A and B are shown apart, each in its own frame.
Chain A
Amino acid sequence: MQLFREKHVDYVKNLNTKTDQLEYWLTEHLRLNGVYWGLMALFLMDSQDAFVKEEVIEFVLSCRDPKRGGFGPYPKHEAHILSTLSAIQILKLYNSLDRLGSFKPDLVKFIKDLQLPDGSFQGDRFGEVDSRFVYTAIQCLSILEELDENIASGATDFVLRCLNFDGGFGMVPGAESHAAQAFVCLGTLSILGQLDKLTSKKELISSWLSERQVANGGLNGRPEKLPDVCYSWWVLTGMDILGCLDWVDHDKLRQYILSCQDDVTGGISDRPDNQVDVFHTVFGIAGLSLLGFEDLVPVDASYCLPKAVVATIKKFPYEI
Chain B
Amino acid sequence: MSSEMETESLNDYNWDDIESIPIKEEASSALCRIMYSEEYKQQLGYLRALLTKQEYSARALLLTDSIIDAVPAHYTAWNYRYNIVKNIDRDLERELVWCQEVAYDKPKNYQIWHYRSLIIELVESRGGSVDISNETTISDDMLEEDSKNYHVWAYRKWLVRRYQLFRDNIEDLTTKKMIALDVRNNSAWSHRFFVMLGDFGETRPETASETVEQEIGFAKIMINQCPENPSAWSYLQGIYKLAKKDLLAEKEFCELYAVGAGKSDQRSVESRFSLPATELLARIYEVSQDNSKASSLYSILGSKYDPMRRNYWEMKRQRLDSANSATVS
Contacts and interface: CB of A to CB of B under 8 A. Distances in A.
B118 interface: yes
Interface in A13-28: 17, 19-22, 25-26, 28
B37 interface: yes
A100 to B, nearest CB: 22
Q: How would you classify the secondary structure of chain A's contact residues: helix, strand, loop or mixed? A: loop
Contacts of A125: 79
B285 interface: no
Interface residues of A, number: 52
A176 B71 contact: no
B309 interface: yes
Nearest to B161: A174
B143 interface: no
Contact of A76 (B21, B32, B148, B241): B21
B102 to A, nearest CB: 16
Contact of B74 (A20, A29, A171, A172): A29
B83 to A, nearest CB: 9
Nearest to A225: B148
B312 A223 contact: no
A60 B29 CA distance: 26
A223 B33 contact: no
B78 A126 contact: yes
* Chain B contact residues, majority secondary structure: helix
B154 interface: yes
A167 B230 CA distance: 12
Given A174-B198, A248-B308, A19 B44 contact: no
Interface in B1-35: 21, 23, 26-27, 29-34
B36 interface: yes
Given A20-B30, A76-B52, A171 B154 contact: yes
Contact of A165 (B74, B111, B230, B238): B238
A252 B187 contact: no
Contacts of A77: 75-76
A165 B193 contact: yes
A101 interface: no
A222 B186 contact: yes
B230 A26 contact: no
B79 A249 contact: no
A264 to B, nearest CB: 18
Contacts of A225: 148
Given A176-B153, A252-B308, A20 B27 contact: yes
A38 interface: no
A190 B33 CA distance: 47
A20 B154 contact: no
Contacts of A20: 26-27, 29-33, 37
Interface in A132-184: 164-167, 170-172, 174-178
Interface string A214-253: 0001000011110000000000000000001011110010
Nearest to A249: B308
Contacts of A249: 307-309
Contacts of A246: 311
A211 B230 contact: yes
A244 B309 CA distance: 11
B154 A172 contact: yes
A26 B150 CA distance: 23
Interface string B98-134: 0000000000000100100010000000000000000
Interface in A111-138: 123-128
B75 A80 contact: yes
A177 B154 CA distance: 11
Contact of B312 (A28, A80, A164, A210): A210
Contacts of B79: 78, 124-126
A22 B36 contact: yes
Nearest to B52: A76
B153 A30 contact: no
A172 B194 CA distance: 12
A168 B311 CA distance: 20
B266 to A, nearest CB: 28
Contacts of A126: 75, 78-79, 82, 114, 118
A223 B48 CA distance: 42
A76 B51 contact: yes
A217 B308 CA distance: 8
Contacts of A30: 73
Interface string B198-241: 10000000000000000000000000000000110011011101
B253 interface: no
9 contacts: A20-B26, A72-B76, A78-B76, A127-B114, A166-B238, A175-B154, A211-B309, A248-B308, A249-B308
Interface of A: 17, 19-22, 25-26, 28-30, 72-78, 80, 123-128, 164-167, 170-172, 174-178, 206-207, 210-211, 213, 217, 222-225, 244, 246-249, 252
**10 nearest CB pairs, A to B:** A165-B238, A20-B30, A176-B190, A166-B234, A247-B312, A22-B37, A249-B308, A223-B186, A78-B76, A128-B114
